[in-house]
């Protein structure tokens, strides 16, 4: 059997650069080498691409890559050789990786790419756009307000707290991994929270704080997708919310419960809403849906992660492992989904015969 060459992209110009490396390292390690040949491609924090021998933080020790543009057979080149691959597997969290940017590059080059495409990626990455789409689909989200950088000076603690209550959350609109997010419990917290959010984005969202349980659900597949059983993130009382450090730095910050201990009816409603969310924002192949199961019994969709983490502490592979899908089999399924979807797309015409003179 001829092995498919899979380019694993990692790093990137993102505040989640390090998380991407940790995720991609696991994919590089666990990919089925009897079926696939992994080709690691690192992107530095400056945005330079390198062909590397493994997945590590030493990206710039690799060979710089250039691209020969050809719509049917693009070629990546180092100083002494050319590189071709069958499938791109971006493991790039956050900016330039989950927002449709990298997806557009591969779409323009007709390279099959694992994961959600341009539309679903850009929609899901932007918290405001995704919330508006979910509201249109009658999917519950927490009450929110939004402000552009030009409106920063007009933001009022009194106005926001009167509409959303206390505490409330301030979030950079287009980031992940809890970067640029603060919990505001008093007026003293307000200005630092605003400064932190606008430090990373030109638009911020202010959201009602939902008191309840942090639930996640893994979605896999297309037409139709399937949902795992939900998992729960139980956060230590030392943390006000699920911060970056709680996610990736402090090994004692959270207890992961898979599957979550939920009433069967609640469990099924979470799975239903997660699949409905996945389809409403045009996700493909896989995604992780983050939810709140509030103390009052309501369920709210929080965020959609189109490239969920594959680190040792990541929920997405854990939830599928509980369903009997190993890390290696999960990676294979994702690549197979990508290839199958690409084959189906080939039926779509890209040329139009007309009498137009040019």
| Residue 221 exposed, middle or buried by CB count within 10 Å (0-12, 13-18, 19+) | middle
pLDDT of residue 173: 86
pLDDT digits 0-9 by tens, 122-178? 999 998 999 999 999 999 999 999 999 999 989 999 999 999 999 999 998 876 656
90, 335 contact by CB (below 8 A): no
| Residue 324 exposed, middle or buried by CB count within 10 Å (0-12, 13-18, 19+) | exposed
Helix (H, G, I), strand (E, B) or coil at 233: strand
pLDDT of residue 226: 95
pLDDT of residue 95: 78
Rounded Cα gap, residues 255 and 261, in angstroms:
13
pLDDT digits 0-9 by tens, 236-274? 777 666 666 666 566 677 788 999 999 999 999 999 999
CA distances from 331 to 284, 323, 325 (A): 15, 15, 10
Rounded Cα gap, residues 287 and 289, in angstroms:
7
Domains observed in the chain? 4-113 (3.40.50.20), 134-138+212-344 (3.30.470.20), 143-208 (3.30.1490.20)
User: Quick one: DSSP state of residue 66?
Assistant: E
| Tokens 């979807």, residue located | 341
Beta strand pairing call for 286-294 and 254-257: unpaired
pLDDT digits 0-9 by tens, 231-246? 998 877 776 666 666 6
Rounded Cα gap, residues 195 and 105, in angstroms:
33
Rounded Cα gap, residues 255 and 235, in angstroms:
7
Which residues have a Cβ under 8 Å from the Cβ of 239 and sit 6 or more positions away? 245, 246, 253
Rounded Cα gap, residues 316 and 313, in angstroms:
9
User: Quick one: DSSP state of residue 20?
Assistant: H
pLDDT of residue 174: 79
Rounded Cα gap, residues 89 and 337, in angstroms:
12
Instruction: List the chain residues with pLDDT less than 50.
Output: none
Query: 327-345 and 17-30 are packed helices; what angle lies between their axes, rounded to 10 degrees?
Result: 100
Which residues have a Cβ under 8 Å from the Cβ of 292 and sit 6 or more positions away? 142, 210, 212, 213, 214, 215, 299, 300, 302
User: Quick one: DSSP state of residue 141?
Assistant: B
* Helix H or strand E encompassing 220: strand 212-220
């Amino acid at each position: 059997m001829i092995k498919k060459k899979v380019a694993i992209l990692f790093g990137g110009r993102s505040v989640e650069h390090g998380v991407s490396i940790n995720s991609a390292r696991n994919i590089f390690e666990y990919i089925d080498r009897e079926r696939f040949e992994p080709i690691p491609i690192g992107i530095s924090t400056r945005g330079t691409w390198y062909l590397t021998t493994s997945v590590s933080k030493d990206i710039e020790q690799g060979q710089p890559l250039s691209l020969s543009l050809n719509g049917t057979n693009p070629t990546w080149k180092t100083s002494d050789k050319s590189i071709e691959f069958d499938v791109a597997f971006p493991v790039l969290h956050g900016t330039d990786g989950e927002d449709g940017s990298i997806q557009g590059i591969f779409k323009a080059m007709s390279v099959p790419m694992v994961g959600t495409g341009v539309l679903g990626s850009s929609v899901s990455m932007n918290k405001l756009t995704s919330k508006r789409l979910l509201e249109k689909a009658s999917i519950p989200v927490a009450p929110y307000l939004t402000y552009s950088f030009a409106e920063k000076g007009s933001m009022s603690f009194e106005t926001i707290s009167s509409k959303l209550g206390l505490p409330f959350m301030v979030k950079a609109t287009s980031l992940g991994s809890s970067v640029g997010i603060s919990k505001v419990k008093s007026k003293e917290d307000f200005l630092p929270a605003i400064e932190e959010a606008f430090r990373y984005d030109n638009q911020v969202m202010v959201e009602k704080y939902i008191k309840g349980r942090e639930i996640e659900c893994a979605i896999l597949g297309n037409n139709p997708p399937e949902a795992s059983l939900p998992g729960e993130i139980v956060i230590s009382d030392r943390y006000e919310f699920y911060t970056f450090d709680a996610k990736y730095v402090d090994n004692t910050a959270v207890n992961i419960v898979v599957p979550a201990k939920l009433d069967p009816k609640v469990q099924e409603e979470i799975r239903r809403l997660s699949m409905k969310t996945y389809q409403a924002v045009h996700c493909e192949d896989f995604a992780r849906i983050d939810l709140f199961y509030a103390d009052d019994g309501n369920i709210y969709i929080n965020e959609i992660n189109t490239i969920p983490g594959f680190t040792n502490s990541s929920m997405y592979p854990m939830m599928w492992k509980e369903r009997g899908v190993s890390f290696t089999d999960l990676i294979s399924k994702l690549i197979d989904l990508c290839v199958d979807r690409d084959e189906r797309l080939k039926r779509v015409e890209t040329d139009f015969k007309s009498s137009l003179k040019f």
